[in-house]
Amino acid sequence: MSDAPAAEAKPPKSKKMLIIIIAAVVLLGGGGAGAFFFMKKAKPAGEEEPAAAAHAKPAAPPTFLPLETLVVNLADPGGERFAQLGITLEITDPKVADSVKAFMPSIRNAVLLAVSQRTTQELLTVEGKAKLAKDIRREVSTPLGFAVEDDEVEEEDPAPKKGAKPKKPKKTATPNPIKNVLFSSFIVQ
């Protein structure tokens, strides 16, 4: 009979232990949840969530306006070399794309003249292509009334030459919407 009182004593101890474990789990879970909500709301005043900042002010994508493929004779001696160019304009304002289309015949003519003044050696270098892109941007911007600023500032002569007109700096009231000239194809033969 000594086994019967021992069996009866074990169940009350296991019930107490089970109640203590459940209480500990509930307290730890409640404390963790409270800490999570407290930390979530207690951010510094200037710090925002990156996702909220990204959705707050989405940047408008640029408009890309492809021009017709140009085939141009180059300024090499003999006139046997030519270039085939695919040009796409990156424009910040979609309304300006309509203006570019309205001036397309004069823009295409100006671009053809600008490319035809280049030699094969100029167009085969990265610097030559970058200069051509800048010149094309200038030719596209001019009929629209925008100016392209020169990156290189030329030093003015202390004594200007006789009959030479002083250079006036170009002023633009609004930024040029023609952001970039992109080459989609560039073949020189």
Q: How far apart are CA 71 and CA 151, in angstroms?
A: 29
Residue 16 has pLDDT above 60, yes or no: yes
Domain ranges of the chain: 3-56, 63-149+174-188
pLDDT digits (tens, 9 = 90+) for 113-140: 999 999 999 999 999 999 999 999 999 9
> Where do the H-state alpha helices sit in the chain?
3-41, 50-56, 94-102, 104-116, 120-123, 126-144
Query: So what's the pLDDT on residue 132?
Result: 95
| Tokens, residue 12 | 């009350």
pLDDT digits (tens, 9 = 90+) for 135-189: 999 999 999 888 877 654 344 444 444 554 444 444 445 788 999 999 999 999 9
Query: So what's the pLDDT on residue 122?
Result: 93
Mean pLDDT value across residues 79-87: 92
Mean pLDDT value across residues 11-19: 73
Residue 103 has pLDDT above 90, yes or no: yes
pLDDT interval class at 24 (50, 70, 90)? confident
More confident residue, 5 or 97: 97
pTM over 0.75: no
Query: So what's the pLDDT on residue 117?
Result: 93
Contact 137, 114 (CB under 8 A): no
**Which one of 3.30.1490.20, 3.40.1710.10, 3.30.479.30, 3.20.20.80 gives the CATH number of domain 63-149+174-188?**
3.30.479.30
Q: How far apart are CA 69 and CA 127, in angstroms?
A: 22
79 phi-psi bin (left φ>0, alpha ψ -120 to 50, beta other): left
| Tokens, residue 61 | 């994508």
Average pLDDT score, the chain: 78
Query: So what's the pLDDT on residue 7?
Result: 52
More confident residue, 14 or 46: 14
Helix, strand, or coil here: 72? strand
